[in-house]
Amino acid sequence: MARKKGFKPNQSIKRPFKPEPYYFITPAIVLLIVFAVLPIFIALVISFTDMDLRGISNWSNITFVGLENYRVLLSDPIFWTSLYNTFFYVVIGVPLVILSSLGAALLLSYGSNKLFQFFRVIYYMPAITNIVAIAVIWGFLYNVSYGLFNQILGFINAGPIPWLEDPTIAKLSLILLAVWKGIGINMLIYLAALQSIPKDYYEAATIDGASRTQQFFKITFPLLGFATFFITVTTLIGWLQFFEEPFVMTQGGPLDGTISIALFIYQTGFSYSNFGYAAAASFVLFIIIIIATLIQFKLRRKQEDI
């Protein structure tokens, strides 16, 4: 008996090639290559040279130095100080931003009237305020003689605190400023994630007698997992590139006590015109960010497998 010709399960369907989708994504791919991928390779090449201002004006002044920039970098005490300060910022600042954003989102999710909408705007405003204006205001707040914080401490007979004069206190002061500035965007992400959780879950949990705390840890927090993962990744990358706050508030001082690795790269490249050395430091920072991001993706994958 002859077998009837038809579709075989393992037979792939040949579809005609349609170039139209590639036309639409080509500009985005070109921009990505030109402004994201290509600079990475250029920075890598520059890091193996002694490029400075003379090298920019005349490429014949550039000399290939191999790994010399990396060798000097590893023995540079200011680089290690900037690395320590950056990890100090990350270890304290990232959890504070995530917890503060989640707390603000939970408080604002209990209502939708105009008062709650007003506070949403209030919390979001620091995220869109110019960093220079923020630096001016917080500079007055942190002033040792007539700043608001020390004036409040004076009412309870507490001594004035050198907010930006002591290296450790200055780092904590910059973290406080950055946390205040970073809550807004993450709070909106958490609010959107909270509003996507079906109300049926909470109604069923209430009928079963679950308390507010049990509902949070059994329903809310697990369903915020992806939002928390996204916020953690983006916040961690942002804090590893901590730059604006020490740049406008302290310029890395006192005694390099607040210099971050991003500020170290900026000062090395644009203040001392040592572009090869700065490129080597930037590539070290790039590798640290890649490793931190891969670790978070691996941890996230493990959580999904559980």
What pLDDT, on the 0 to 100 scale, is given for residue 9? 53
Q: pLDDT (tens digit, 9 = 90+) per residue, 122-157? A: 888 888 888 888 888 888 899 888 888 888 888 888
- The CA distance from 76 to 164, in Å, is 25
Greater confidence (240 vs 114) lies with 240
pLDDT at 199: 87
Scan for tokens 């393992």, then name that residue: 10
Burial of 2 (0-12, 13-18, 19+ CB in 10 A): exposed
Q: What is the DSSP letter of 198?
A: -
258 pLDDT band, cuts 50/70/90, is very high
How many Å apart are CA 288 and CA 73, to the nearest integer? 15
Q: From 52, 50, 43, select the one nearest 65 (Cα to Cα).
A: 50
List, in order, residues 6 or more apart from 19 with CB less than 8 Å away. Answer: none
pLDDT by residue (tens digit) across 85-103? 999 999 999 999 999 999 9
pLDDT at 89: 95
Cβ distance 179 to 94 under 8 Å? Answer: no
Distance CA 237, CA 292 (A): 8
Least confident stretch, 56-65, 90-99, 184-193: 56-65
Residue 248's Cβ-side half-sphere holds a number of Cα atoms within 13 Å equal to: 17
* pLDDT attached to residue 130: 85
What local confidence, expressed as pLDDT, does residue 109 receive? 83
* Residues in Cβ contact with 256 at an 8 Å cutoff, skipping those fewer than 6 apart: 78, 81, 82
The Cα–Cα gap between 173 and 163 comes to 6
pLDDT at 251 over 50: yes
- Distance (Å, whole) CA 65 – CA 47: 9
Looking at residues 221-241, what average pLDDT do you find? 92
Three-state secondary structure along 104-115?
HHHHHCCCCCHH
Assess whether pLDDT exceeds 80 at residue 11. no
- Of the pLDDT bands very low, low, confident and very high (cuts 50, 70, 90), residue 1 is very low
The pLDDT value given to residue 81: 94
| End-to-end Cα distance, the chain | 53
Instruction: Give the pLDDT score at 30.
Output: 95
Percent of the chain at pLDDT > 90 equals: 46
Contacts of 13 (CB under 8 A, 6+ apart): none
Asked whether the beta carbons of 280 and 208 are under 8 A apart, the reply is no
pLDDT for 234 equals 93
Span 232-239, mean pLDDT? 93
2: confidence class by pLDDT, cuts 50, 70, 90: very low
What is residue 154's three-state secondary structure?
helix
Helix (H, G, I), strand (E, B) or coil at 49: strand
**Residue 42 above 70 pLDDT?**
yes
Compute the mean pLDDT over every residue in the chain, rounded to the nearest whole number.
Answer: 87
pLDDT of 7 above 80: no
Average pLDDT over residues 261-283: 92
Q: Where are the alpha helices (DSSP H) in 110-255?
A: 114-128, 131-141, 148-155, 167-195, 199-207, 212-215, 221-223, 225-240, 244-249
